Structure 1
Amino acid sequence: MTEEVDAAARRIRDAKPRVTVLGTCILDRWTSGDVHRVSREAPVPVIEMRKVQSTAGGAANTALNAAALGAQVRLLGVVGDDADGKRLRDVLRAGGVDVTGLVSAPGATTISKTRVIGNDQILARLDTAGVPRPSDAVVRRWVRTLGALRRDDTLIVCDYSREMLSDEFIAALAASRPRCRIIVDAHDLGRWRAVQPDIVTPSAEEVERLLGDELPGPDRAAAVGKLAGHILHAAGASSAVVTLDHDGAVSLPHDGGAPHRTVAHPAPESQATGAGDTFAAALAVAGAVGTRLAEAADFAQHAADVVIARTGTAVCRLGDLLPHARSPQHGVVDDVSLRERLDEERSLGKTIVFTNGCFDILHPGHTAYLEQARALGDVLVVGVNDDDSVRRLKGPERPINAVEDRARVLAALGCVDYVVVFSEDTPMRLLSLLRPHLYVKGGDYTPEMLDETPVVDAYGGEVRTLGYFPGHSTTALVDKLSHRVDGAG
């Protein structure tokens, strides 16, 4: 799984595919603060505001995610000529989205959703009414723009309101269907049947609306698989990926092959805002570089899982996917692959922290130290001495645990991003190769005591020493266990 996500990410990075997003654009606003009392005017909490965050929603969020994943993105949509419309443009431009196709409708109000949060709990949501409508001239311009898309382009349609994308527009688009790949994410998929989408991405509720009946039985994924032919026929689509929130997603290929189910990481509904936009964007961007439907669905699921682990309406960047998709044992990488991954992390502006040791028997002193090291940056790399070098450093009776086991245990820690094994007594070669921003050691050392300090200084890095954690020692643990065994004999 990780290898497939890795391969897709590399193809995206190299190809920078072209993606056009069309649809309903929303400004998501998150206002948050602390609640310490109830109002005397009414039985409602008084929120002392701390933060207001404006993000993109709907088609705008899909566009922002596609750009964050490495695509060249153009957005076609309508906003009001108001402050919210200007703010949404600014958010999109900052995210690298081409907004020359985003039209300001005179006198219209930009769609917005304002969530009011007190003590990390959503207490209210305030929505603006009405949807800005494109003029006939704008609709004709969109049809011409879409008709000029090339075969290797991708169009994502995000249709959440009839006012925005009318039946007349859909008919015009169907009459001069673009040659490009078309993905439709719509509340009412039946409206898009004449366009013959390449892929549709309905939710379970949207499938039920499309078929006019509820999905049978308790296993929704199995039901979707059995109804594959009916779903594709009703949508007029070649393929489909049906999203089932906490049950993952089911991809239905065009060739009648077996459905493929992704595995989701369940999260509260309050954290799922915008995850569908991320899923559609990731599915489209992965598919644009030739990724098979099942693998593209896995890629999209990983991207959605990244954003639901965050608060608010979030985006998933290409560099976020590798550490997310990796299971603990995949956290152990060779030094060459690690250098490539760290180059990607560094290009995203992340601070890389490196530390090393034998880590023979992991104890609380180790975990406290590693957590403190991780807090200094964005990515923590742990170098682990192999068995031979441990014997040279600690004696012939060590290590207690083989290097494969020591590395897997370290990779399973939430604070550790990458683990790399080295065979030398010191990590000087690794430091020269990986060039981390920070080289960290425990408080029982000073930078002047370390042979590695001149290496780090030479490439412009920094050596840091952390606090000393007394009362915890692998050697002491080994001695204690030996005494117990001897006493039992």
Structure 2
Amino acid sequence: MEMTATAAERIRQVAPRVVVVGDAILDRWWGGHSRRLSREAPAPVVELREAVEVPGGAGNTAANLAALGARAELVSAIGRDATGEALLAALVQAGVGTRGVLQRADRRTVSKTRIVADDQVLARVDDAPDRDVAGRPATVRALVEALIAALADADALVVSDYGAAELPEVVVEALAVAGRPSHLVVDAHDLRRWRGIGPDVVVPNAEESAKLIARPLGEGRDRRRAASEVATDLLAASGAGAVIVTLDRDGAVLLREGAPPMVTSAHPVSERFAAGAGDTFAAAIAAAAAVGVPLETAMRLAQGAADVALAHEGTSVCRGDELIRRLAHPPAALLDWTALRERIDAHRRDGRRVVFTNGCFDVLHVGHTTYLQQARDLGDVLVVGVNGDDSVRRLKGPERPLNPAVDRAGLLAALEWVDYVTVFDEDTPIDLIETLRPDVYVKGGDYSPEMLAETPVVEAYGGEVHVVDYVPDHSTTLLVDRIRSTRPTSQGVS
């Protein structure tokens, strides 16, 4: 994660100019307590305690760019109304440049109001008037001129398209005059509208990807494989140089012509009060690209930024300092059994599928990382149990382990697809399994379920035992033997 943290630092140091054009929304979050039902109807009465107004839609993308350290400027048309005034104030508060935000008498500002009571979203009220101004040439012309002015010396452009009819016309006309910026990122509900401009990167979610190619991606973790299988179709239909399919709790998949798919894993949090993580992801991709960060690193950075935003309630942003801390200290944690059980119970209440595996992991090698990646694909949360030092000595001999348990656990925690690590001192993880009761227990392919003492324990509470592929010629014992057999090739060399 060190390279990704460095990329986040670079965004703050360089402060690239990134323009966002699209549909700005005012997001309202009204929260309070509910202790009774209304007399008028079987509906809860909410005693309002807090009312928060923040930029949403394209405004949230711009706010995230500013929070990450970019110089963000928004181009959008909103209404000359009280909601528009509130949105402008929220944008200024977020540090977004608003010279390109046009208040028009022929337009009403879109708002989304969520009502939350005692840890539950009760309702969302959308005030979404007709945003089609294609028949209003003065507004279209004003938007084109505002975008041309904003693009002067811009390092990147993000198109945030929530469906306004005039947006493709505005962008195409402005690019024809101002020229194409170095990086063009499109985040759109309907990517077919943008194929003609050949975006550098598009960031559809699973539903938008399915709409683009008229083919569903399936459900859950299967969407990773499905997206990879239709990479050629997604690239052709979008006209983009790269497609990043975001899959909420299942991370994201990067697709490019002639390159294997790359997958990132999301670290799960409750999503009941979270909104706008897709805006955060698009903002981070654009900011990283604008400072020359390779797309693979930018994708990891964007996944970390979305995880940070989702950890907050409401329509939130990821600040640069938060992201740097997150990337420098990955969220995988070395926990004792009691704390780990509390975390696992919380994930299970949120509907997460918990996967558990175990081993000595004395010298981490490709056999380990391959099977840990495969294990993570079987669920939403991966827990790794590490044999304690005494346990390793009993299993492997008095000369092992080569590395103490705290070091072995720390290396595992640094892997992005590992969520939690714990240490057990017994020769088998049976006691730990009975404590955690994971949904899936995973072992490497040099075992079979019948060989494992853990199998009847897991099956007794309804869990599943899964054996993943074995990577031949990769084991700690073989690696240690190879190192010990190496001899100096010349005097004084060691």
Q: TM-score range by the shorter chain?
A: 0.5 to 0.7
Secondary structure of the corresponding residue to residue 286 of structure 2: helix
- When residues 91 and 216 of structure 1 are mapped into structure 2, their CA distance, relative to the original with a 3 A threshold, is closer
The residue that corresponds to 1:69 in the other structure is 68
**Residues 1:207 and 1:151: Cα distance change in structure 2 (over 3 Å):** farther
Asked whether the equivalents of residues 147 and 179 of structure 1 are also in contact (C-alpha less than 8 Å), the reply is no
Distance 2:139 2:318 in 1: 31
CA RMSD of the aligned region, Å?
A: 3.2
Equivalences for 1:243-262 in 2 at 5 Å? 243-253=246-256, 255-262=257-264
Measured in 1, the distance between the counterparts of 2:228 and 2:4 equals: 24
1:113 aligned onto 2:116: no
Structure 1 pair 212–96 and aligned structure 2 pair: CA distance change class (3 A): same
Q: Does the alignment pair 1:232 with 2:235? A: yes
- Structure 1 residues 231-282: Cα deviation after superposition (integer angstroms, max 9, x where no partner): 11111111111111111111123x5211111110233442331111111101
Q: Distance in 2 between matches of 1:164 and 1:48?
A: 41
TM-score (norm 1): 0.64
278-287 or 214-223, which moves further after superposition?
A: 214-223
Partner of 1:285: 287
What is the DSSP-based 3-state SS (H/G/I as helix, E as strand, rest coil) of the residue aligned with 2:227? Answer: helix
Alignment of 1:18-417 (within 5 A): 18-106=17-105, 108-132=107-131, 135-147=136-148, 149=151, 153-165=155-167, 167-169=168-170, 171-173=172-174, 175=176, 178-180=179-181, 181-215=183-217, 219-253=222-256, 255-327=257-329
- Please give the secondary structure, in 1, of the residue aligned with 2:278: helix
Amino acid at match of 1:143: V
SS in 2 for 1:261: strand
Cα distance in 2 for residues equivalent to 1:111 and 1:164 = 16
Matched AA of 1:210? L
What is the Cα deviation at residue 230 of structure 1? Answer: 1.4
Secondary structure of the residue aligned to 1:258 is strand
Tell me: CA distance 1:87–1:225, structure 2 relative to 1, closer, same or farther (3 Å): same
User: 2:326, 2:32 → 1: CA distance?
Assistant: 29
Cα drift, residue 322 of structure 1: 2.3
Kindly provide the amino acid, as one letter, of the partner of residue 28 in structure 1: D
Q: Which residue number corresponds to residue 4 of structure 1?
A: 3
Mapped partners of 2:192, 2:22: distance in 1: 16
Change (3 A) 1:41 1:324: same
The 1:44–1:210 alpha-carbon spacing in structure 2 relative to 1, beyond 3 Å, is same
CA distance in structure 1 between the aligned counterparts of 2:289 and 2:9, rounded to whole angstroms:
13
Q: What SS does the corresponding residue of 2:307 show, helix, strand or coil?
A: helix
* Partner deviation per Cα, 1:351-409 (whole Å, 9 max, x = no partner): xxxxxxxxxx9x99xxxxxxxxxxxxxxxxxxxxxxxxxxxxxxxxxxxxx99779969
Does residue 16 of structure 1 match 2:18?
no
Give the distance between the partners of 1:55 and 1:405, measured in 2 at CA: 43
Normalised by the length of structure 2, the TM-score is 0.64
- Cα distance in 1 for residues equivalent to 2:409 and 2:225: 38
SS in structure 2 opposite 1:127? strand
Structure 1 residues 279-333: Cα deviation after superposition (integer angstroms, max 9, x where no partner) = 110111011111111110110010000011111111110000122224469999x
Alignment partners' CA distance in 2, 1:282 and 1:33:
32
Distance 2:231 2:177 in 1: 28
Conservation of the 8 A alpha-carbon contact between 1:328 and 1:408:
no
Cα deviation digits, residues 94-137 of structure 1 (max 9, x gap):
11111011011115321000101111211011111314456423
Q: Which whole-Å CA distance do the structure 1 matches of 2:42 and 2:121 have between them?
A: 16
Q: Following the alignment from structure 2 to structure 1, what is the Cα–Cα distance between the partners of residues 216 and 332?
A: 40
Distance 1:285 1:12 in 2: 7
Query: 1 CA distance for matches of 2:84 and 2:264?
Result: 36
Extract unaligned runs of 5+ from structure 1.
333-360, 365-401, 413-489
Identity %: 45
Any idea what SS the aligned residue of 1:259 has? strand
CA–CA distance in structure 1, aligned partners of residues 83 and 153 of structure 2? 35
Change (3 A) 1:174 1:331: same
Looking at structure 2, the residues matched to 56 and 303 of structure 1 have their Cα atoms a distance apart, in angstroms, of: 17
- 75-84 or 124-133, which deviates more: 124-133
Q: Distance in 1 between matches of 2:235 and 2:178?
A: 18
Question: Structure 2 stretches of 5 or more lacking a match?
Answer: 340-403, 415-494
Q: Deviations over 1:3-36 (max 9, x none)?
A: 0221101211221101000001000000011111
Whether contact under 8 Å (2:274, 2:316) holds in the other structure is no
